[in-house]
Amino acid sequence: MTANSGTRINKYLSEIGYCSRRAADKLIEAGRITCNGEKVVMGTKVAPGDLIKVDGQTIENPGEKPVYIAFYKPIGIVCTTDTRVEKDNIIDYINYPTRIFPIGRLDKMSEGLILLTNDGDIVNKILRARNNHEKEYIVTVNKPVTANFIQKMAEGVPILDTITKKCEVQQIHKNSFRIVLTQGLNRQIRRMCEYLGYRVTKLKRIRIMNIPLDVKVGTYRNLTSNELKALNRLVASSSKTAY
């Protein structure tokens, strides 16, 4: 391993499907990764032949076939790959035969669609907010929805030191509405509703880009060839996924 050659450790772990770059950065910060017996730091590069370990366990490039699945996350399941911390984590719940990790997050008290894969490259492309990937939700709140509420949600709400992007919002029942977001701020919908004096009682994600939620709670399916082709087109500015 040298300072000016090789691949950054976070990118490497992402490319081989071990975890996302974001998750790798957290492992690095926690001092849980070593290369050739030495703890790595942000920016460390690795090369073929380097011995990489996480928590003392050797990490090898499995060369496995890419996996892309759509999962209906139940309420109470946490979107984390750290199985040491959360007993109700998504990885243990699905118990997939090979290592996969979620693309993005869905908070513990929310339910609905989340994509999981072992393809770290596509994770990074999808998570880039500037790509404006749509995510659609059905939301129930604690009191009747008004026209003023719908208008303000659609035009943008001040949360987390910013104004949320304009979005599509439509009332569907007395206390519920449909919303399509193109950004992913932390607990965005809940914070938007709270700002306007509402409390979310149920939140379900029903679509991510071209992928619909069409499986039962707690179950998953593989993405179809056509879905992967469409996904490739949506992230056409980056390298494509395999299908």
Under 8 Å between Cβ of 127 and 107: no
Closest of 156, 103, 165, 105 to residue 132, by C-alpha:
165
Say what the alpha-carbon torsion angle 37, 40, 45, 51 is, to the nearest 10 degrees.
Answer: 20
Question: How many CA atoms lie within 13 Å of 51's alpha carbon, on the beta-carbon side?
Answer: 7
Is 107 an annotated catalytic residue? yes
Nearest 5 degrees, angle CA 21-CA 136-CA 103?
A: 15
Under 8 Å between Cβ of 103 and 122: yes
Q: Which of 107, 119, 121, 214 is catalytic?
A: 107
| SS3 (DSSP) at 144 | coil
Residues forming the active site: 107
